[in-house]
Amino acid sequence: MKEQLALLPAYLTAHLQLSLVALLIGATLSIPMGVWATRRKALAQVILGVAGVIQTIPSLALLALMVPALAFLGLLTASTLGFEVRSIGYLPALIALTLYSMLPILQTTVAGIQGVDRSLIEAAQGVGMTDRQRLVRVELPLALPVIVAGIRTATVWVIGTATLSTPVGATSLGNYIFSGLQTRNFAAVLVGSVAAAVLAIVVDQIARSLELGVRERRRPRVVLAGGALAALYLFTAGSFAWERTRAAGPEVVIGSKTFTEQYILSELIAGQVEREAGLRARALQSLGSTVLFDALRSGEIDVYVDYSGTIWATIMKRAGPPGSRQSVLAEVEAFLRGEHGILVAAALGFENRYALAMREEHARRLALTTLSDLAPLSASLEIGGDYEFFVRPEWTALRAAYGFAFRKERSMDSSLMYQAVAAGEVDVISAFSTDGRIAAFELRLLEDDRSVVPPYDALVLVGPRAAREHPEVVRALQGLEGILDERAMQRLNRAVDSEGRAPREVAHALLERLN
């Protein structure tokens, strides 16, 4: 709990940077748009319609969609205007959250202004106000309580939804929740959720208090609430400025996917870079796995760990029998260097294969040791897989080679998969061979006796820019060649998943032992 709370200032600040700026931009855009819409009825339908459609996109999907959208925009600006747009991190999260904040503010602005009594409009015209004076002196003040209600709704939504910006690479209180769920650290999940909820309540109450104070002309209240809001924004602005001054000098950014092993490895690599190359390094965790490769290619992250089979199947789009571990590694290495300028600095020494797993006791009862044994029984069994598994080429290949036809295929979060098979809710899962929970839950990995699934050597990949500009980083990472076998990796994972140790701590302990 203590080590979780130590992360709070950084995560909370990042959360404020995202949500307060998104709300400010959202309100700054929505209120004039709402006013404009009340002046043109046809426009109101269009604006509210578009905002409504955006709102129906699930927030996680909206955030994820910003990444390819910005990557595409980045290609355009790079070729026409000569600058690149960052497609992961703060910007996509900010844009998505801003879009998300707009509907309630737009709706209430339109409703608030349209709700002003006809006789007051006539009075405003009668006393000689111009359209603008009528808006500023009569319509907006009278619509204010309604507009503020919309801003408050947006505040709660945005602060809540900002926790989902972790997978697109923006730090937030969601980092607690994503990594906590993956590493079974419920203290982290709790800290993240409670902090986000408290923040939402506090900002909401400040907005309410400010609006009441203005409406009832209670100066002390306005000063207090306005001061609190101003202080939050000043703090946020200050934190941006501070980051800017601190960001002097190069920094190596290490990406990670959303599972325990990746958290540990990203910390391991960050530690190795700092020790051996003397550069500052930062782990950017819980990124979506499709985001990572593109981010590495474009230089938004510098290093991450991927697996030879994943690249072979999903990026090189190779099908058919993969061949030996060495030949796949050689092919992948040549492909990455040749096509993308990405360097394989080291193979860590272990494989993290996709492997089908069952409860030891269940497998023994059915006398199953290989996938060929499993195939004839599959019609009576249920299989669970992580979100990606059933659309991955490995699954297609497995099904084709062994003729699997399971009674039911169920997608679930990878952190729940192991529990599901242990509890007998599914019979087979798509396990990762290094997962600490294989031992913890007494699972048996079934052997891929026809060698359909490619080898999954864990490879430390260095992006083209870092490879060019920081040979010392490449040299430092070459020192990680072959340091972990499958058992060692399982132990590290278990230390985090079952013993509740922090990925960073586990990684640093390992580095100590290496040196």
Partner 1 sequence: MIQLEHLAKTYGSTLAVDDLSLRVAAGELVVLLGASGCGKTTTLKMVNRLVEPSAGRVCIRGRDAAELQPALLRRRIGYCFQQIGLFPHMTAAENVAITPRLLDWDEPRVQGRVDELMELVELEPASYRERFPHELSGGQQQRVGIARALAAEPEVLLMDEPFGSLDPPTRDRLQRRFQTIRAELNITTLFVTHDMVEALLLGDRIAVLDRGRLAQIGTPGELLRAPADEVVAGLMETPRRQAEQVEALLRDARGHKGSGEEQ
User: For strand 280-284 and strand 443-445, is the pairing parallel, antiparallel, or unpaired?
Assistant: unpaired
Buried b (16+ CB within 10 A) or exposed e, 444-476: bbbbbeeebbbbbbbbbbbbbebbeebeebbeb
CA distances to 111, 142, 144 from 215, rounded to whole Å, are 18, 9, 8
Smallest distance, Å, CB 222 to partner 1? 15
**Residue 422, φ and ψ in degrees, nearest 5:** -65, -35
Binds partner 1 by CB under 8 A, chosen from 8, 57, 73, 142: 142
Q: Which helix (H) or strand (E) segment is 180 a member of?
A: helix 174-182
Q: Which stretch binds partner 1 (CB under 8 A): 4-12, 127-135, 194-202, 421-429?
A: 127-135
Of 56 and 119, nearer to partner 1 (C-beta) is: 119
Q: Which of 58, 126, 220, 320 is the binder for partner 1 (CB under 8 A)?
A: 126
What minimum distance in Å lies between the beta carbon of 117 and partner 1? 8
The DSSP bridge pattern shows strands 303-307 and 443-445 to be unpaired
Q: With binding defined as CB under 8 A, does residue 115 bind partner 1?
A: no
Q: Is 127 in the site for partner 1 (CB under 8 A)?
A: yes
Is the Cβ–Cβ distance between 345 and 276 less than 8 Å? no
Cβ distance to partner 1 smaller for residue 117 or 251 = 117
Instruction: State yes or no: residue 221 binds partner 1 (CB under 8 A).
Output: no
With CB under 8 A as the contact rule, the residue among 10, 61, 76, 123 that binds partner 1 is 123
Which CB, 139 or 435, lies closer to partner 1?
A: 139
Q: Is 141 in the site for partner 1 (CB under 8 A)?
A: yes
Residue 315 in tokens: 């990026």
Determine if 119 is a binding residue for partner 1 (CB under 8 A).
Answer: yes
- State how far the Cα of 253 lies from the Cα of 89, in Å rounded to an integer: 12
Sign of torsion over alpha carbons 461, 466, 468, 474 = negative
The size of the interface with partner 1 (CB under 8 A), counted in residues, is 18
In the bound state with partner 1, the residue whose beta carbon lies nearer, of 210 and 507, is 210
- At its nearest, how many Å lie between partner 1 and the CB of residue 504? 55
Q: Which is nearer to partner 1, 134 or 494 (CB)?
A: 134
The binder of partner 1 chosen from 128, 220, 249, 320 (CB under 8 A): 128
φ, ψ of residue 42 in degrees (nearest 5): -65, -40
**DSSP at 273:** I
Q: Which residue stretch of 26-34, 102-110, 126-134, 453-461 sits at the interface with partner 1 (rule: CB under 8 A)? A: 126-134
| Nearer of residues 120 and 379 to partner 1, judged by Cβ | 120
What DSSP character marks residue 258? Answer: S
Give least dist CB 127 to partner 1, A: 5
Select the residue interacting with partner 1 from 133, 324, 326, 380 (CB under 8 A). Answer: 133
Question: Does 125 engage in binding with partner 1 (CB under 8 A)?
Answer: yes
- The arrangement of strands across the sheet holding 251-255 comes to 280-284, 251-255, 303-307, 457-462, 343-351
Question: Could you tell me the sign of the dihedral formed by the alpha carbons of 416, 422, 428, 430, in that order?
Answer: positive
- Near partner 1 by CB under 8 A: residue from 129, 232, 375, 377: 129
Q: List strand residue ranges (DSSP E) for 256-407, in order.
A: 280-284, 303-307, 343-351, 354-359, 382-385
Window contacting partner 1 (CB under 8 A); options: 132-140, 405-413, 440-448, 459-467? 132-140
Query: Which region among 122-130, 157-165, 311-319, 429-437 touches partner 1 (by CB under 8 A)?
Result: 122-130
* CA gap 375, 406 in Å, rounded: 9
**Token duo for residue 417:** 């998969």
Q: Which is nearer to partner 1, 60 or 129 (CB)?
A: 129
* Site residues (CB under 8 A) for partner 1, limited to 199-218: 215
Which residues make Cβ contacts (< 8 Å) with residue 393, sequence separation at least 6? 313, 314, 317, 319
Interface residues with partner 1 (CB under 8 A) are: 117, 119-120, 122-130, 133, 137-138, 141-142, 215
